[in-house]
């Protein structure tokens, strides 16, 4: 059996199929994380992505379902250099091959993923298609595949993990967070759990007043797939909420808050996808290595307002990694601050909780929209 990856510019990579069989379209992106394939595949932000792992040895430790970021895979296909046939870990519940099969994700192995990565780096993230063919002699019709690619125009609507992922109010949780679910990761929800907050997940289209009716202490905008239309739509609904309750966004949530504060987003040639992105706090110079998975950023020229601060910047390309409108207690981070360390909570989530407590105690005094009142 063979599998082919065809890119929209006509480049073809050949490999060996694994996981599900058939045909999958998607945007070809590369991820530089050495571990975490199961988290990446199940991160809803990867919806519609054909994921290329730059690390060549994938599947080594199998899959444990507790480690997943959502119920199922969201990437459409996985491209690897070498698939491990052995899952060696005491927590492994199944192998990557079986997992992909179950989730309907096509895998393609024995691809020169470094060459593919460099191609994407030089030419930008682009659409592509993966097809598997049953026997080695069969050829593929490139032209028909290319036309499929050209007519592929994914709508990347937000995901809903559903109500069962709400975190119920319990003895020690007395802060209520409404989370706008653009494709929330379980590890984000875990952060709230550890903070003692209870969470109501609402779909991306939820109206502002419905959110207010839920009487939240604060609003969280999750990460998720980056659909320009959806981001704009959610941002519009967020505008009336600015200044009413503390707001915290991560990943795509950062883009949404930025847009709600009248900023603009732009697509990067190549996204930030991996676990080693260096960011710097503009105010205090603090440095951090972060997990990221995004292909859009906020345009740094689109937020010229006195009360909107760029709080974090990328150390390599200078892109916006975080913004804050302090006077209305709204802030967000482009990177994913979910800590992977057992039982701990990251600074970003902790700061949000402090905002929740403060606003609960003294309320928010600034009025709606003031953040954007004055240009710098």
Partner 1 sequence: MPKRDDLKKILIIGSGPIVIGQACEFDYSGSQACKALREEGYEVILVNSNPATIMTDPEMAHRTYIEPLTPEFLTKIIARERPDALLPTLGGQTGLNLAVFLSKDGVLDKYGVEIIGANAETIARAEDRKLFKDAMQEIGVAVPQSGIARSVEEAMEIGERIDFPLILRPAFTMGGSGGSIAYNIKELKEFAVKGIEASPIGEVLIEQSVMGWKEVEFEVLRDCEDNVVIVTSMENIDPMGIHTGDSIVVAPAQTLSASEYNHLVALSKKIIRKIDVSGGGANVQLGVNPDNGDVVVIEVNPRVSRSSALASKATGFPIAYVATKLAVGYRLDEVKNQITGRTSSFFEPALDYCVSKIPRFTFEKFRDAVPNLNTSMKSVGETMSIGRTFKESFQKGLRSLEIGRAGFGADGKDLKEFKEELKDIKQNLRIPTDKRIFYVKYALEKGMTVDEIHELSKIDSWFLDNMKEIIEIEKKLLGYRIGEDKTITLPYELLLEAKKAGFSDKQIAYIIGSHELAIREYRKSLGIKANFKLVDTCAGEFNCERPYYYSTYDAADENRISDRKKIIILGGGPNRIGQGIEFDYCCVHASFALREEGYESIMINSNPETVSTDYDTSDKLYFEPLTREDVLNIIEAEEPDGIIVQFGGQTPLSLAVPLEEVGVKILGTSPDSIDMAENRERFNDLLSELNLIKPENDTGTSPEEAKAIARRIGYPVLVRPSYVLGGRAMQIVYDEKELEFYMKTAVEASSDHPVLVEKFLEDAIEVDVDAVADGESVLIGGIMEHIEEAGIHSGDSACVMPPMSLTDETIQRIRENTNALAKALNVKGLMNIQYAVRNDVIYVLEVNPRASRTIPFISKAIRVPLAKIATKVMLGKTLKELGLTEEIHIEHVAVKEAVFPFNRFPGVDAILGPEMKSTGEVMGIDTSFGRAFAKSQLAAGEKLPLKGAVFISVKNHDKRSVIYIAKKLIDLGFSIVATKGTARVLRQNDVEVQEVFKLHEGRPHVIDLLKNGDINLIINTTSGRGAVGDDRQIRNYAVMHGIPLVTTISGASATVNGIENLLRRDFKVKTIQEYHSLIQV
The residues that touch partner 1, with contacts defined as CB under 8 A, are: 30, 32-39, 54-57, 60-62, 64, 66-67, 81-82, 84-86, 88-92, 112-115, 117-118, 121, 270, 274-276, 278, 280, 285-287, 289, 315-316, 339-342, 344
Structure tokens at 54: 């730059």
Minimal distance, residue 353 CB to partner 1, in Å? 20
Minimal distance, residue 30 CB to partner 1, in Å? 8
- Angle of CA points 218, 337, 32, to nearest 5°: 145
Smaller CB separation from partner 1, 13 or 352? 13
Minimal distance, residue 339 CB to partner 1, in Å? 7
Smaller CB separation from partner 1, 64 or 232? 64
Smaller CB separation from partner 1, 108 or 177? 108
Residues whose CB falls within 8 Å of the CB of residue 231, separated by 6 or more in sequence, listed in order: 252, 255, 256, 259, 265, 296
Smaller CB separation from partner 1, 76 or 338? 338
Q: What backbone torsions phi and psi does residue 319 show, to the nearest 5 degrees?
A: -65, 160
Minimal distance, residue 54 CB to partner 1, in Å? 4
- Scanning the structure block, which residue is given the tokens 């988290």? 39
Distance CA 84, CA 26 (A): 24
Distance CA 280, CA 351 (A): 17
Q: What are residue 314's DSSP bridge partners? A: 279
Minimal distance, residue 230 CB to partner 1, in Å? 27
Beta strands 197-203 and 175-181 are parallel
Strand order in the sheet with 330-333: 197-203, 175-181, 218-221, 247-250, 330-333, 320-325, 309-314, 265-281, 287-298
Smaller CB separation from partner 1, 55 or 220? 55
Minimal distance, residue 134 CB to partner 1, in Å? 17
Smaller CB separation from partner 1, 62 or 258? 62
Residues whose CB falls within 8 Å of the CB of residue 25, separated by 6 or more in sequence, listed in order: 76, 127, 128, 129, 148, 149, 152, 154
Minimal distance, residue 205 CB to partner 1, in Å? 32
Smaller CB separation from partner 1, 155 or 278? 278
Minimal distance, residue 110 CB to partner 1, in Å? 8
- Scanning the structure block, which residue is given the tokens 């682009």? 126
Smaller CB separation from partner 1, 127 or 273? 273
**Closest to 247 measured CA to CA, from 162, 359, 165, 337:** 359
Report in angstroms the alpha-carbon separations of 227 from 27, 66, 77, 148. 13, 28, 19, 20
């Amino acid at each position: 059996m063979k599998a082919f990856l065809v890119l929209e510019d006509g480049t073809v990579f050949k490999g060996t199929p694994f996981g599900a069989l058939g045909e999958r379209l998607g945007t070809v992106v590369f991820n530089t994380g050495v571990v975490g394939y199961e988290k990446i595949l199940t991160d809803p932000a990867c919806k519609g992505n054909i994921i290329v792992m730059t690390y060549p040895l994938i599947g080594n430790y199998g899959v444990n379902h507790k480690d997943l970021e959502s119920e199922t895979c969201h990437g459409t296909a996985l491209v690897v250099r070498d698939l491990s046939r052995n899952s060696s870990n005491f927590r492994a519940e199944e192998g990557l091959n079986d997992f992909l099969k179950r989730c309907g994700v096509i895998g393609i192995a024995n691809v020169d993923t470094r060459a593919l990565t460099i191609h994407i780096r030089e030419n930008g993230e682009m659409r592509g298609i993966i097809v598997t063919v049953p026997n080695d002699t069969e050829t593929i019709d490139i032209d028909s595949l290319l036309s499929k690619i050209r007519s592929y125009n994914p709508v990347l609507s937000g995901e809903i993990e559903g109500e069962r992922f709400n975190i119920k109010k319990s003895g020690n949780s007395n802060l209520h967070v409404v989370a706008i679910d653009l494709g929330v990761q379980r590890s984000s929800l875990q952060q709230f759990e550890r903070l003692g907050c209870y969470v109501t997940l609402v779909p991306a289209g939820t109206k502002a007043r419905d959110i207010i009716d839920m009487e939240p202490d604060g609003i969280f905008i999750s990460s998720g797939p980056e659909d320009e239309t959806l981001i704009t739509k959610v941002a519009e609904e967020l505008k009336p909420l600015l200044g009413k309750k503390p707001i915290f966004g991560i990943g795509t949530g950062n883009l949404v808050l930025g847009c709600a504060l009248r900023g603009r987003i732009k697509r990067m040639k190549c996204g930030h996808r991996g676990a080693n992105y260096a960011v710097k706090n503009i105010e205090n110079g603090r440095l951090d290595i972060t997990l990221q998975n995004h292909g859009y950023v906020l345009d740094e020229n689109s937020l010229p307002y006195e009360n909107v601060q760029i709080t974090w910047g990328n150390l390599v390309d200078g892109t916006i990694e975080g913004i804050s409108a302090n006077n209305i207690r709204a802030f967000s981070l482009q990177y994913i601050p979910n800590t992977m360390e057992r039982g701990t909570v990251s600074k970003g989530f902790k700061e949000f909780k402090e905002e929740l407590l403060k606003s609960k105690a003294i309320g928010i005094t600034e009025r709606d929209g003031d953040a954007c009142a004055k240009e710098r």
